[in-house]
Structure 1
Amino acid sequence: MSGALVCLPFAGGGAGFYRAWTDLPDGCPDIVPVQLPGREELFVDPPHTDAVTAAQALAPRIAELVGGYDSYALFGHSLGAVLAFEAARALSSLTGATAPDHLFVSGSPGPWSGRDDRATGLADREFLARVEQFAGYRHEALDDPEMRELLLPLLRADVEMHENYKPRSDEPLSVPVTSLRGASDTLVDAERAREWRHATTGAFRYAEIPGRHMYLVDTVAPLLETVTRVLAGRRP
């Protein structure tokens, strides 16, 4: 088999979001979603509340999923970016596993930068309004009272995990890193997205995708084309 792009969920998201990525550009790696507990087919499992612990738990599963591939890269957006970063570190020290060939982090400041504004601890209405403000996006399921009741605990756990995230180590990775950002993202500016250059001793690239913070919800084609170019050794 050729290459794989292992995709980790953003806050409130699940593997199903990435399973819909079926219209792939030529040369694009296979999309390999990773599911976190508390969502979709793992709905009954308690969600993680610590990003480092979550990534360490995911590492053996990722190693299993990519076992038949010649190479693989990790991709994560927002919360998924720090999960992918910590998973890359965990995989590099996991017995019998191979480290990823590339790390794609999207819509995220560098791992050592915290978020000034927080949603954790707010009442439901204020919490959802703050999350919507952060993302510039509101999932339509949150407009349904029954679905909102089901999804809110998971979203709260994910947001808490992201807002309380502290990197496992101050040491950079050796894996090449590409930081991606929606060109009109008002949550993460270009300077903060470029902070990821300090997260690796390997090659670093920065690329902008048309759209806002949740650009990948509107259209995924520009993202996958950029990933494909980078993995082929071409400029993003």
Structure 2
Amino acid sequence: MNHALVCLPFAGGGAGFYRAWKDLPDRAPRIVPLQLPGREELFIEDPFLDVIDAADALAPRIADLAGPGPVSLFGHSLGAVLAYEIARRLESDPGVELRHLFVSGSPGPWTGRTRRASGLPDDAFLSRVQEFAGYEHDALADPDMRELLLPVLRADVEMHENYKPVSDEPLRTPVTSLRATGDELVTREQAVEWRTATTGAFRLVEPEGGHMYLIDSPLPLLEAVAGDLAS
């Protein structure tokens, strides 16, 4: 399948998470991780602080990154709203054949968080983020790594918590919303809110697991993606 699935990272994550997906099923799309500044090979670059600014900067890169052929976008949590805003820009880009938007672990784009982590002291901030995500990154247990990762994680969380959509106009692109059955952060009703984000087709997919179900296995996501792209 030459269909490219451009993947946006969740808060604190990087393209390396998606690069680690190996031995994928034959039906799986071609995984194209999109790196954000401030992490991994772009560590020395300043991270984004605003979703709209990030989408403006990232959208023009999609055509070259994905190459020829159809493109779909995937994002989990913070990555979901980034992918949504990028999709809005790609719909008017004649150089990109945008087929589908896959959003995961996220309420609809107009639902903001009532409990926030931004501005809290380090320990309280990390505790709140762990509560939101349902897991703690192993690297944060190492004091040196924690010092390196905290600025990017804080920037990502601030960007997510301050996000407001650039427009109320729905997309034309079909949307699939994924929300794990054990997700204690995003309710089923919130995951269905994405139905109003498009005039195209909408589907809700509910894999097993918690909010970070992707860490256990990408296969439930990839099966959903392959099924929607084939239909």
Per the shorter chain, which TM-score range? over 0.9
> Is contact 2:178–2:204 with CA below 8 Å preserved after alignment?
yes
Q: Which runs of 4+ in 1 moved over 6 A?
A: none
> Is contact 1:187–1:213 with CA below 8 Å preserved after alignment?
yes
The 5 A counterparts of 1:6-85 are: 6-68=6-68, 70-85=69-84
Structure 1, residues 78-122: CA drift from partner, whole Å, max 9, x if none? Answer: 00000000000111223x422410000000000001011100000
Partner Cα separation in structure 1 for residue 97 and residue 82 of structure 2: 15
User: Could you tell me the percent identity over the aligned residues?
Assistant: 68
Partner Cα separation in structure 1 for residue 224 and residue 24 of structure 2: 12
> Is contact 1:74–1:104 with CA below 8 Å preserved after alignment?
yes
- The total of aligned residue pairs comes to 231
SS of the equivalent of 2:74 reads strand
Partner Cα separation in structure 2 for residue 229 and residue 189 of structure 1: 24
SS of the equivalent of 2:179 reads strand
Partner Cα separation in structure 2 for residue 92 and residue 172 of structure 1: 11
1:87 and 2:86 aligned: yes
SS of the equivalent of 2:103 reads strand
Partner Cα separation in structure 2 for residue 164 and residue 83 of structure 1: 13
Aligned residue in 2 for 1:156: 154
Aligned residue in 1 for 2:95: 97
SS of the equivalent of 2:85 reads helix
Aligned residue in 2 for 1:127: 125
Partner Cα separation in structure 1 for residue 91 and residue 225 of structure 2: 22
How much does 1:8 deviate?
0.4
Partner Cα separation in structure 2 for residue 139 and residue 16 of structure 1: 14
Gaps of 5+ in 2: none
TM-score under structure 1 normalisation?
0.96
Structure 1, residues 186-222: CA drift from partner, whole Å, max 9, x if none? Answer: 0001000000000000000000011000000111111
Cα root mean square deviation, aligned: 1.0
Gaps of 5+ in 1: none
> Is contact 2:71–2:96 with CA below 8 Å preserved after alignment?
no
Q: Which amino acid aligns with 2:92?
A: S
Partner Cα separation in structure 1 for residue 206 and residue 73 of structure 2: 18
Partner Cα separation in structure 1 for residue 181 and residue 24 of structure 2: 22
How much does 1:67 deviate?
2.7
Partner Cα separation in structure 1 for residue 26 and residue 66 of structure 2: 20
149-158 or 57-66: bigger deviation: 57-66
> Is contact 1:63–1:91 with CA below 8 Å preserved after alignment?
no
Partner Cα separation in structure 2 for residue 224 and residue 2 of structure 1: 14
Structure 1, residues 158-177: CA drift from partner, whole Å, max 9, x if none? Answer: 00000000001010000000
TM-score under structure 2 normalisation?
0.98
Aligned residue in 1 for 2:229: 231
Partner Cα separation in structure 2 for residue 28 and residue 165 of structure 1: 31
